Amino acid sequence: DGGITQSPKYLFRKEGQNVTLSCEQNLNHDAMYWYRQDPGQGLRLIYYSQIVNDFQKGDIAEGYSVSREKKESFPLTVTSAQKNPTAFYLCASTTGGQDEQYFGPGTRLTVT
Amino acid sequence: AQSVSQHNHHVILSEAASLELGCNYSYGGTVNLFWYVQYPGQHLQLLLKYFSGDPLVKGIKGFEAEFIKSKFSFNLRKPSVQWSDTAEYFCAVNSNTGNQFYFGTGTSLTVIP
């Protein structure tokens, strides 16, 4: 089955630690996205990538970093500089341009 | 920057009631419009989309939406809701020249059997 996988489903970290969230897709999509979902705030864009080895900041990129070394993979690192990292993180992909996005199941990160 | 407004934050309906969820966007150019649904414990999935053509689009599970360009709106409708429609609904937009998608804050729908 084609789709997007995110792992792990739940992640717990201590404050001050960096943590990396995984996102893999086998849809052969060019573009990949990371969103943060908080109650009452919808989905806010963290980073996106249109092509391998290239990515752009979204609206809330501060405290996050990404890499796109392979077409299939777009990991997100939540750094210790992110002031409020506890959230639900969603990865998405699309063929590119303006076609609809396909979403992964999400990772719920809790930082204490 | 573009923005999307969903005015109904939480809607509670009885089964068989009609549904209309509002969505307005701010962007003066040509846009592509989407409604996504997130059922409890499931992935976000596409309900329907509008790129061009007939402004009344039909999606899965009996949902439809109407694009009214003059009102910058893309409201979601369903004539008769079911308990299984309980979910969170998100409106999204992107321009036909841009790569970013902008989402509304979502509407939580609860359908009472």
Could you read off the pLDDT of A7-58 as tens digits, one per residue? 999 999 999 999 999 999 999 999 999 999 998 888 999 999 999 999 999 9
Confidence check: pLDDT of A90 > 70: yes
User: For position B7, what pLDDT does the model report?
Assistant: 87
Q: Which of A14, A19, A34, A13 is nearest to A89 (CA)?
A: A34
d(CA A102, nearest CA chain B) in Å? 7
B96 min Cα distance to partner chain A (Å): 6
Q: What is the pLDDT of residue B1?
A: 65
Best mutation target among B43, B49, B52 (most A Cβ atoms within 10 Å) is B43
Q: Which of A33, A96, A104 sits opposite B43 (nearest CB)?
A: A104
* Burial of B10 per CB tally in 10 Å (0-12, 13-18, 19+): exposed
> Which of B21, B32, B90, B99 to probe the A interface (max A CBs under 10 A)?
B99
pLDDT in tens, B39-54: 998 989 999 999 989 9
Q: Are B106 and A103 inside 8 Å of each other by CB?
A: no
pLDDT value, residue A40? 83
The minimum CA-CA distance between A42 and chain B, rounded to whole Å, is 4
Mean of pLDDT values over A62-81? 96
Query: Which chain A residues have a beta carbon less than 8 Å from that of B42?
Result: 105
Q: How far is A17 from chain B (nearest CA, A)?
A: 28
Residue type, position A101, single letter: Q
Report the alpha-carbon distance of residue B43 to residue A96 in Å, rounded.
20
The closest CB to that of B103, out of A31, A42, A98, belongs to A42
Confidence of residue B64 (pLDDT cuts 50, 70, 90): very high
Give chain B's contact residues with A (Cβ, < 8 Å).
1, 4, 6, 9, 32, 34, 36, 42-46, 49, 51, 90, 92, 94-96, 98-106
Confidence bin at B100 (pLDDT 50/70/90): confident
Please give the pLDDT value at position A85: 94
Q: Which of A8, A61, A1, A62 is nearest to A33 (CA)?
A: A61
Give the confidence band of A97 by pLDDT, cuts at 50, 70, 90: low
Q: Let me know: does B111 contact B82? Beta carbons within 8 Å.
A: yes
Q: CB pairs below 8 Å between A and B: how many?
A: 51
Average pLDDT over residues A93-109: 88
Please report the DSSP string for B30-65 in residue order. -EEEEEEEE-TTS-EEEEEEE-SS-SEEE-GGG-EE
In this predicted structure, the answer to whether residue A89 has a pLDDT above a threshold of 70 is yes
Work out the pLDDT band at B27, boundaries 50, 70, 90.
confident
Give contacts of B93 with chain A, Cβ < 8 Å. Answer: none
